[in-house]
Chains A and B, each alone.
Chain A
Amino acid sequence: MVPVFLAQWMKEKRSPYMVLIFISISIAAALLFGSNMDIKLKIDTFRGEGVTVEEAERWIDRLNESGAFIFSLRAEEESLADVRQGRSDMAVRLLKDDYRIIAVMESTNVELVQQHMQAVYHEEFRIMAAASHAEDELEFREAMKTYMEQPPLKLQSSTSSGSELRSYDMRLQLLFGFSLFLAMLTVGFRVNAMTAEKISGIWNRVILSPLTKTEMYLGHLTYSTLIGIVQITMVFLLAKYLFGFSLGHSFGMLAMIVVLYTMTIVAMSMLFTGILRTPEQFGAIFTSIVPIMPLISGAYMPPGTITNDVLLFIGQFLPLQHALDALIGVSIYEQGWTDIYLPLAKLLLMAVIFFGVGINLVERRRL
């Protein structure tokens, strides 16, 4: 087993580019999208007829006080051009005490922006109505402002243990999602190297040696597993120590999930190797199926977005889904072993089944 393992390692050392490329992409992607998720969505606005710059700016300030959007004032032509070219999904025309959302694409956000703007406008209308009855409008607004600093009704959010209720860390989910996804590619290519060895005849040579088949598979598969684990671990370490992601406190559990996930991925790649005949077919088909998995597992979207029963059902068969659940459980919800027991058990079950069927197909092909 050891020599098979070492030979793989030597090959990797000679051309480490693949692993390096995938590691850098997972980091870059996690950073890029991770940083975006905290930043609010930008909405362009422009002035409609008879609206002065001051008026527009006042509305924009009010709109930006709360909510998930950042409104900014731009020239009409630019904003509309972006909408027309599909670069932004909407723009807002500010009218006198009114507004219109301009959209030419069905989009998630139009309805949300509409709700937010309506709430802000209505509140402001009430304040304006009240202020207009006040003797001194300025004094009125000032009084309101002081009052709002000590409002009568507040909301306190906390966890049951009394600690602060953090909002859902989408950045972390994306980091997990991307690193698990790209590990699939690395591991897949590594397992595929085994098929390549079969074609080149090295495999037969090894079979003829006193090395048992089990040792051969173990050598290859431990290597693939290890390289996957190393890749994910490197991304996690960089994320934690260089970019300050908070991965939770139980490193042991994270490690356990990563190990189990990588093993399942290796088993899945074995299954693919069993189904697809040549390393080329593997390269073509595996790589076009794998990018769909994070989509179906909902890795790119906030949890709860996917509600379609069919998708949820398919997701159950994807290792990524369960590993993601477990990682998020441990690092965001601070869950314990009893909570992540189920996803881990499912991963293990999948590993066993994929592996069993995969090896069977591979071995049957040989005779």
Chain B
Amino acid sequence: MRAFLKKDVLVYWRDRKQNIFSLVIPLILIVVLGLLLPNWIENPTSTLQLKAAMVVHDNEAAGLEQFQSSLKSRGLPDEEAAVLFELAALSPPVSLLNDMLKSDQIVSMVEWVELDEEAALRRLQSGEIQAIVTLPEDFTLHILNKTLLDEGNGAAISLTSDDPSIEVGVLQGIIEGFTQQFNASSAIAHAGTHSAVTLNQEAVLPSIGGVETIEGVRVLTSFQYFTLAVGAMFAMYVAANSANKAITEKREHVFQRILLSGSHPLTYLAGKIVATLMMSLLQLTLVILICHFVLDLFPGYSLEFWLGFSLLMMMMCLIVAALGGLFTAAMFRMNANTANAIIQALLLIIGVIGGNFAPIYILPDAVQQLWEWTPNGLWLSTMIQWIQQESWEAAINGMLGLSAFIIAIIALSVWTFPKRGRI
């Protein structure tokens, strides 16, 4: 077995191109995801950029005047009319909307251009702007009529866009939020007309909400998550590489020669498994160490933490080693292309389910249920808990489960591997 191991490790070692690739790719990916995600996580809208036109057919002053004259023509008592007009002039809807849309928060995302309707449509079609917000004629009057007199059907802001992008979606959401708030306010006012409730009573709102952590549980950073997830994924690719090396041996009849030498076929398999273990340990350790020093992944963690961490790393590499054995067995049992397709498909599936490509919580529920039923998912879950809680109980439970996986996979590969005289 030592001879086999030496051969496999040497074969690995000689393949410089591949070694460099399998180190560099995960590092790139971690940086990529690291660059990608902090923005995405911390401020989902801050980086969105949108150019939109505002087309206003309404004339606010004229609308107010019209409203005032309609109050007179309605024959309302002067006093009441004066109160209503005061209310209308206090916060005319267009001004409210304008205040909101031109607020610093929105302007940091949306660049507004004032255009007439025709020019706006032209620019929309040429793609210079992504959306047009239009306020129709008599917007002010219709709204005031509805809110203050409960007459008519109110008015509609229209949003025109040919491009249902996320930016337009956000703008739509902002305007929807505004209408919702505006409507709720006027509904309160309307329903409360009979009581003493007035609109400006909303000023005092308690400060609520907040984010808490669970006591004794550290917050997992996205870099920690992705270093582990991506590192483990590429460690699993080491298993696929081992199997690929076996094709060469199959093609060049090295395996037959090994059998002819009187060695037990399983010694060959064992050599592969141990070589995979060593290569994946090397790779995973390097990836995690480099990330640790570059990104300051685990600052000031205790020695005990590192002990458990190393044990868990070992478990992951054992899984990879077992997978390496299984994949090698598959290579010997079927056409190399088919085997490769199956291996790639399998890695892709357990990679996705195991949360190696994207955080598990964004996946559908059905997939989340399967998370800990994949070896890599169980490992990731155990590792996350270890980083958060450093509880040996959870870690040992996880390791027991992982051991079961390792044994099962190795058993499966031994069972699949061709016996003497079958090749």
Q: Determine direct contact between A and B, CB below 8 Å.
A: yes
Q: Are B190 and A143 in contact (CB under 8 A)?
A: yes
Q: Kindly state the separation between the CA atoms of A103 and B214 in the bound complex, as whole angstroms.
A: 7
Q: Which of A85, A98, A135, A289 contacts B384 (CB 8 A)?
A: A85
Residue A247 at the chain B interface, CB threshold 8 Å: no
Q: Are A157 and B212 in contact (CB under 8 A)?
A: no
Report A313 CB to chain B, min CB distance, Å.
12
Q: Are A144 and B187 in contact (CB under 8 A)?
A: yes
Q: Are B32 and A106 in contact (CB under 8 A)?
A: no
Q: Are B217 and A104 in contact (CB under 8 A)?
A: yes
CB-contacts of A255-309 with B (<8 A) = 276-281, 283-285, 287-289, 291-292, 295-296, 300-308
Residue B106 at the chain A interface, CB threshold 8 Å: no
Q: Which residue of B lies closest to A108 (CB)?
A: B41
B contacts with A, residue count (CB < 8 A): 126
A238 proximity list for chain B (CB < 8 A): none
**Chain B interface mostly:** helix
Report B264 CB to chain A, min CB distance, Å.
25
Listed residue (A125, A134, A283) with the most chain B CB atoms within 10 angstroms of its CB: A283
Q: Which of A21, A150, A155, A167 contacts B159 (CB 8 A)?
A: A155
Q: Are A154 and B179 in contact (CB under 8 A)?
A: yes
Q: Are A160 and B206 in contact (CB under 8 A)?
A: no
Q: Which residue of A lies closest to B361 (CB)?
A: A89
Q: Which residue of A lies closest to B391 (CB)?
A: A84
Per-residue CB contact flags for chain A residues 85-100 toward chain B (1 = under 8 Å, else 0) read 1111100010001111
Q: Are A303 and B166 in contact (CB under 8 A)?
A: yes
A140 proximity list for chain B (CB < 8 A): 191-192, 195
A295 proximity list for chain B (CB < 8 A): 29, 32-33, 357
Report B58 CB to chain A, min CB distance, Å.
13
Q: Are A119 and B389 in contact (CB under 8 A)?
A: no
Q: Are B156 and A304 in contact (CB under 8 A)?
A: no
A84 proximity list for chain B (CB < 8 A): 214, 217, 385, 388-389
Q: Which of B220, B240, B337 contacts A106 (CB 8 A)?
A: B220
Q: Are B32 and A288 in contact (CB under 8 A)?
A: no
Per-residue CB contact flags for chain A residues 233-264 toward chain B (1 = under 8 Å, else 0) read 00000000000000000000000000000000
Residue A15 at the chain B interface, CB threshold 8 Å: yes
Residue B15 at the chain A interface, CB threshold 8 Å: yes
Task: Identify the stretch in B77-85, B338-346, B414-422 within 8 Å (CB) of chain A at 4 or more residues.
Answer: B338-346
Q: Which of B44, B210, B357 contacts A111 (CB 8 A)?
A: B44
A105 proximity list for chain B (CB < 8 A): 219-220, 225, 359, 361, 384
A130 proximity list for chain B (CB < 8 A): 188, 191-192, 197, 201
Task: Identify the stretch in A31-39, A202-210, A213-221, A356-364 within 8 Å (CB) of chain B at 4 or more residues.
Answer: A31-39
CB-contacts of B194-234 with A (<8 A) = 194-197, 201-202, 205-206, 208-214, 217-222, 225, 234
A17 proximity list for chain B (CB < 8 A): 338, 341-342
Residue A50 at the chain B interface, CB threshold 8 Å: no
* Cross-chain pairs A/B with CB under 8 angstroms, 20 sampled: A22-B345, A39-B364, A84-B385, A88-B368, A103-B213, A129-B202, A143-B187, A147-B191, A148-B184, A154-B154, A158-B159, A159-B160, A165-B160, A189-B337, A287-B340, A302-B166, A304-B165, A305-B40, A311-B32, A333-B163
Top 4 closest pairs, chain A to chain B, by CB: A152-B154, A18-B341, A143-B191, A152-B146
